[in-house]
């Protein structure tokens, strides 16, 4: 099998699994307990808090563990909306956000909040000048993803943060795709809140975090116990958190080397596709995109048919976000870029990881050439 769907999820690193197992088998104490056996679990999650904080130039007490990116996004948006509703009810986001943000914004809209969706260019990137024009006196939150899950296009995060800070508005970024795949410094980028999910960087599913800058106080989203400094209820996922810490440690060791490796492999794959298969359109920015992301449209074919044929060839890819697979209607992200017709129907997303090889890329190109030709009815 050749796995090219790393934007959907990544394989758990063997070292991560090894770190997790003791907390499933032997060291299973509840970190809220006050006896020594339980305090060992608390020590682990506090240690991971420090590891994550160091990776984004934050403070350990600014890291709050969650069940993943969707919860983190919901907490950031709903929490800030509830906390600041008396100050204002205007939120700015973009038309290409993950549905964890878009659907949460639609929920808030039903509750009386006004949502501005910024347009993007053909490269999938916003114009900061449009953001400035959209800010109002009652704007309480700017939520713009660091990098897109379908196209990999990277937003001008530092410019957005600077604009938000200049207008005294909290800036939340969904960094689920970007974290550990590009440099993120929450201070240099003036990020107020940031969402991340472990299974996007070779950790386990069901575990993530929300960075909340000191002084920012979203309303409590999960009600119950007093875990996570009393603002996120629920027993912490100790095995998942331990594994997430190890995944961060591994990624930080070789991040820049891995970025170069994956980007070179991606660029090789794109070069061969564009030069050996006619009727191909690149979706998203050619240069300002995540290193492992490749989203292309093959004109004149149905992308779903190509997916099935590639699956039969042992190649795992997707046509867009895994979270909206099967919904139909075409990608809202590609529509925002101006795609329609064949470009919308023939889209294929291939997202590479460090476990992939150049030899695999050669096989993928061969199968793409054969399958696209067959679908187009040519020899």
Mean pLDDT of the 315-335 span: 76
**Domain spanning 14-250: which CATH class is it, in words?**
alpha beta
**pLDDT tens digit sequence for 123-159:** 999 999 999 999 999 999 999 999 999 999 999 999 9
Which residue ranges make up each domain of the chain?
2-7+254-376, 14-250
Mean pLDDT value of segment 60-82 = 98
- Mean pLDDT of the region 190-195: 98
Q: What is the mean pLDDT of the chain?
A: 95
pLDDT at 168: 98
| pLDDT class of 328 with cuts at 50, 70, 90 | low
Q: Which tokens in the block code for residue 311?
A: 């699956």
Q: What is the 8-class DSSP label of residue 182?
A: B
The pLDDT of residue 61 is 98
Contact indicator for 175, 169 with CB cutoff of 8 Å: no
Per-residue confidence at 354, pLDDT binned at 50, 70, 90?
very high
Radius of gyration of the chain, Cα coordinates, nearest whole angstrom? 21
The pLDDT of residue 15 is above 80: yes
Question: Is 170 an annotated catalytic residue?
Answer: no
Q: Are strands 193-197 and 139-143 parallel, antiparallel or unpaired?
A: unpaired
Fold match, 2-7+254-376 / 14-250: no
What are the tens digits of pLDDT across the range 77-111? 999 999 999 999 999 999 999 999 999 999 999 99
Residue 142 has a pLDDT of 98
Asked whether the predicted pLDDT for residue 260 surpasses 60, the reply is yes
Q: CB burial class (10 A; 0-12, 13-18, 19+) of residue 103? A: middle
62: buried, middle or exposed (CB in 10 Å: 19+, 13-18, 0-12)? Answer: buried
What whole-number distance in Å separates Cα of residue 143 and Cα of residue 216? 14
The predicted pLDDT at position 335 comes to 95
**pTM listed for this prediction:** 0.95
The secondary structure element, H or E, covering residue 193 is strand 193-197
Query: If you average pLDDT over residues 109-128, what whole number do you get?
Result: 97
The Cα–Cα gap between 274 and 278 comes to 7
Q: Three-state DSSP class for 171?
A: strand
Is residue 353 classed exposed, middle or buried when 0-12, 13-18 and 19+ CB atoms within 10 A define those classes? Answer: buried
- What confidence score (pLDDT) does residue 233 get? 84
pLDDT-based confidence at residue 320 (cuts at 50, 70, 90): low
Q: Is the per-residue pLDDT at 379 higher than 50? A: no
Q: Taking a C-beta distance cutoff of 8 angstroms, is the pair 211, 62 a contact?
A: yes
Does 257 have pLDDT greater than 90?
Answer: yes
pLDDT greater than 70 at residue 324: no
- Residue 33 in this model has a pLDDT that exceeds 90: no
Q: In what order do the strands lie in the sheet with 293-298?
A: 280-282, 293-298, 347-351
Average pLDDT over residues 40-58: 96
Q: Residue 5: phi, psi to the nearest 5? A: -135, 45
Residue tagged active-site, from 170, 207, 316, 323: 323
Cβ-count burial of 64 within 10 angstroms (0-12 exposed, 13-18 middle, 19+ buried)?
buried
What fold does the segment set 2-7+254-376 form as a domain? 3.90.1150
**pLDDT band at residue 56, thresholds of 50, 70 and 90?**
very high
Write down the pLDDT at residue 112: 97
Task: Report residue 315: phi and psi, to 5°.
Answer: -115, 125
Mean pLDDT of 229-245: 93
* pLDDT number for residue 378: 57
State both tokens at 183.
Answer: 């440099």
109-148 in b/e form (b: 16+ CB < 10 A) is eeeebebbbbebeebbbbebeebeeebeeebbbbbbbbbb
CB neighbours of residue 378 within 10 Å:
9
Average pLDDT over residues 214-225: 94
Distances (CA, A) of 240 to 67, 70, 73, 281: 9, 16, 19, 39
Phi, then psi, of 49 in degrees rounded to 5: -55, -40
Residue 327 has pLDDT above 70, yes or no: no
Residue 143, beta-bridge partner list: 172
Task: Provide, rounded to the nearest whole percent, the portion of the chain with pLDDT above 90.
Answer: 89
């Amino acid at each position: 099998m050749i796995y090219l769907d790393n934007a959907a999820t990544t394989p758990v690193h063997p070292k991560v699994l090894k770190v997790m197992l003791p907390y499933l088998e032997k060291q299973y104490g509840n970190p809220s307990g006050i006896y020594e056996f339980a305090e060992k679990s608390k020590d682990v999650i506090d240690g991971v808090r420090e590891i994550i904080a160091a990776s984004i130039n934050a403070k350990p007490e600014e890291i709050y563990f969650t069940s993943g990116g969707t919860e983190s996004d919901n907490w950031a948006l709903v929490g800030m909306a509830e906390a600041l509703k008396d100050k204002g009810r205007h939120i700015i986001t973009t038309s290409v956000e993950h549905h964890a943000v878009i659907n949460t914004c639609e929920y808030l809209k039903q509750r009386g909040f006004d949502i501005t969706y910024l347009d993007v260019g053909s490269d999938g990137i916003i114009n900061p000048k449009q953001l400035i024009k959209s800010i109002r006196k009652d704007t309480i939150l700017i939520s713009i993803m660091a990098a897109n899950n379908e196209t990999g296009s990277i937003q001008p995060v530092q410019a957005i943060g600077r604009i938000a800070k200049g207008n005294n508005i909290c800036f939340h970024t969904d960094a689920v795709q970007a974290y550990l795949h590009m440099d993120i410094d929450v201070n240099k980028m003036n990020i107020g809140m940031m969402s991340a999910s472990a299974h996007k960087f070779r950790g386990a599913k069901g575990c993530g975090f929300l960075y909340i800058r000191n002084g920012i106080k979203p309303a409590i989203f999960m009600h119950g116990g007093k875990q996570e400094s009393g603002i996120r209820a629920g027993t912490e996922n100790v095995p998942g958190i331990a594994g997430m810490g190890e995944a961060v440690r591994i990624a930080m060791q070789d991040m820049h080397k891995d970025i170069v490796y994956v980007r070179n492999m991606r660029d090789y794959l794109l070069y061969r596709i564009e030069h050996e298969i006619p009727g191909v359109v690149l979706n998203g920015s050619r240069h300002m995109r995540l290193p492992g992301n490749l989203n292309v449209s093959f004109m004149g074919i149905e992308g779903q048919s190509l997916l099935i044929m590639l699956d039969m060839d042992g190649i795992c890819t997707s046509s867009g976000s895994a979270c909206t697979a099967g919904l139909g209607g075409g990608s809202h992200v590609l529509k925002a870029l101006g795609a329609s017709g064949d470009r919308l129907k023939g889209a294929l997303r291939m997202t590479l990881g460090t476990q992939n090889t150049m030899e695999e890329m050669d096989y993928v190109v061969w199968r793409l050439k054969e399958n696209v030709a067959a679908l187009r009815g040519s020899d």
